[in-house]
Structure 1
Amino acid sequence: MQAYEFINNLIPPLKLTDRVGKALAWMEEIRTDVLPVVHEGHFMGLVTDEMIYEINDPDLTIQDIDLISKGGFVQMDRHIYEVLRVSSEHHSNMVAVLDKEQIYQGVVTVEDAITAFTDSISIQSQGGVLILSMFMTDYSLYDIARIVESENAKILSSFISSDPLDDSKIKVTLKLDQTELRHIKATMERFGYKVIDHYQEEIGLSSEQDRLGNLLRFLDI
């Protein structure tokens, strides 16, 4: 699940000396609205079609544009999670991948990263989701798993995020292999855990849009 495994080789990098008209032609050909820019092997940032349209001069070169997401890159051995984090931080649907010498290797698209992420955390498996709220000091996946397993269920995957309603707490999202959650929810609450949300996964979802929807619900975004 390292970043270099998901490099999209169909997306070519632009040079600073390329004209913006060429950039638009490439974007249209590969059906994207953003392309990476590389100079002498080094990642310089991203250029979007919106930026080019605002300039409205096809003869200008890429170096005449103030590129975005100059820090939107990861090392090639970083986990795919890091790609999603950097993408979110820079509000970009494309993240550059660099080697140990900081040489550009390619880009990973958010779509490819989401596909890898959903495959890795059992998003597509049938089951239900519980979302707990607690202090970080109270978090123990071992204890939570023991309670879940006492109800003949298994945790397929888990995810921790900050609680937007209380900065001192975290949210723990659990994907379980059971769709009936009433008894599990009641048992968790009996042991003092606060269950702030739960839902049942639907069966038969397979499209990319469904995969994205499942991921966003799992992350509770």
Structure 2
Amino acid sequence: MNITDYILNEIKPLQLNSSAKTAIKVFDNFPASHLIVVEKKVILGCFSQDDLHNIANETSELAQHSHLLNFFSANEKTSVLALFKIFSENDTNLIPVLNVDKEYMGYYQLSDVLEFFCTEPFMLEKSENLVLEKLESAYSMSEIAQIVESNNGKLLGMYLSKKEQDIVQVTLNIRTEDLQEIMHTCRRYNYKIISMHENDLYAEDLKSRADYLRKYLEI
């Protein structure tokens, strides 16, 4: 199935001559964060639910509040990861979709895009997730890939999952029979293992040493 199969038209777009009251009624009937405004297949922007609920005169036309319009959209070739970025940057659960002629086609809904993403091989493949941490200036995607593959692992995916000042965390999706060896090699290259894993011998050893030291100090 293609992501474009998830384009919806259940919520009909508004026009600038629609009233604020009409828009608010649509919000009452659908769990949407934004409503799309279209004129002759051309998207003019989106009104957020909060902005429309703050309009004092509900009988006024949306044209009087065009300064509140937000513009964001996707096209037929926008990738799933790019869609997630649009959802996040605009704090929305709905994205208008345009065709190659920039005409309005419909919209994507966040829940549907998440459902589609969960059917991707990246998510369905039997694998292990590993989160590494290192200085941004010191980490290398190619080095991480080499560590995984040199230990007979298969790197299915990798992304930057956290960044604070000069420290970054990288999340890996790995198919492997021996995660211990990969973690051991990562530590040799000064990567800190952030994720918790059963049978992590290094972590168990540190815990044992800490327990021993605690008992020694209590004597």
State TM-score, norm by structure 2: 0.72
CA separation of 1:24 and 1:195: change in aligned 2, threshold 3 A: same
Does the 8 Å contact 1:126/1:177 carry over to 2? yes
| CA-CA distance at 1:105 after TM superposition | 1.3
| 2:171 aligned residue | 173
Give the alignment of 1:130-141 within 5 angstroms. 130-132=130-132, 133=134, 135=136, 139-141=140-142
Query: Which structure carries more relative contact order (alpha carbon 8 Å, separation 6+)?
Result: 1
Would the aligned equivalents of 1:128 and 1:200 in 2 still touch at CA under 8 Å?
A: no
Structure (1 or 2) with the larger CA radius of gyration: 2
* Superposition map of 1:1-221 within 5 A: 4-65=4-65, 66-70=67-71, 72-120=72-120, 122-123=122-123, 127-132=127-132, 133=134, 135=136, 139-141=140-142, 144-149=144-149, 151=151, 153-160=153-160, 163-166=163-166, 171-177=169-175, 181-190=179-188, 192-199=189-196
Change beyond 3 A, Cα 1:56–1:125: farther
The RMSD of aligned alpha carbons is 3.1
| TM-score where L is the length of structure 1 | 0.72
Does structure 2 retain, via aligned residues, the 8 Å contact 1:128–1:179? Answer: no
Pairs aligned (count) = 196
Runs of at least 5 residues in structure 2 that lack an aligned partner in the other structure: 199-219
With over 3 angstroms needed to count, the CA separation of the structure-2 counterparts of 1:179 and 1:124, relative to structure 1, is farther
Amino acid corresponding to residue 185 of structure 1 in structure 2: M
Bigger CA drift: 32-41 or 147-156? 147-156
Q: CA deviation at 1:193?
A: 4.5
Identity between Structure 1 and Structure 2 (%) = 23
List gaps (5 residues or longer) in structure 1.
Answer: 202-221
Question: CA offset at residue 180 of structure 1?
Answer: 7.8
- Distance, in Å, in 1 between the alignment partners of 2:120 and 2:164 is 26
**Cα distance change, pair 69–125 in 1 and its aligned pair in 2 (3 A):** farther
Paired residue secondary structure (2:68): coil
Q: Which one-letter code corresponds to 2:182 in the other structure?
A: I
Identify the residue that residue 207 of structure 1 maps to in structure 2.
Answer: none
Counterpart amino acid of 2:158?
A: S
Following superposition, the deviation at residue 140 of structure 1 comes to 4.2
**Deviation by residue 1:79-109 (Cα, 9 ceiling, x = unmatched):** 1211111222222222211122211111112
1:57 to partner: Cα distance: 2.6
Alpha-carbon contact 1:2-1:78 (below 8 Å) kept? no
* Contact 1:8 1:108 (8 Å CA) reproduced: yes
Partner letter of residue 160 of structure 2?
Answer: I
Tell me how far 1:124 sits from its aligned partner: 5.5
